[in-house]
Amino acid sequence: MSAGTPDPLAGFDATIHAPNRLRICALLDAAGEAEFVLVQKQLDVSASVLSKHVAVLMDADYVEQRKAVRDTRQRVWLRLTRQGREAYQGHLAALRAIVGPPDPTP
């Protein structure tokens, strides 16, 4: 990599890169906000697996949750924070730079 060439790994985020966390971020980026149970069904994982991945994303300030009562049951809604959305978009850009066609300029 030359001095003027941007580092393709600059936006790579190991926190997001884990497959389930990447899928969570993708779903929340597209949906804006999603109920925990819906995310669990979309990812086809147990509640405990999803909880662990959401906790990692929350610790990084990438995801926030809100709790609301609906039909007398407490529901948990998830959404990306602004920081989380920026990190996710940066991670996607880094992945595209890594797997994209090589730069034809010497």
Lowest mean pLDDT among 12-21, 59-68, 80-89, 93-102: 93-102
Q: What is the pLDDT of residue 4?
A: 57
Residue with the two structure tokens 């030359």: 2
Q: What element of type H or E holds 80? A: strand 73-80
Confidence of residue 67 (pLDDT cuts 50, 70, 90): very high
Beta-bridge mates of residue 70: 73
**pLDDT higher than 70, residue 5:** no
Read off the amino acid at residue 75: R
Confidence of residue 103 (pLDDT cuts 50, 70, 90): low
Q: What is the pLDDT of residue 6?
A: 65
Sorted by where each starts, the structural domains of the chain and their CATH numbers stand as 14-96 (1.10.10.10)
**pLDDT higher than 90, residue 90:** yes
Instruction: Look up the pTM and report it.
Output: 0.85
Coil/strand/helix, residue 53: helix
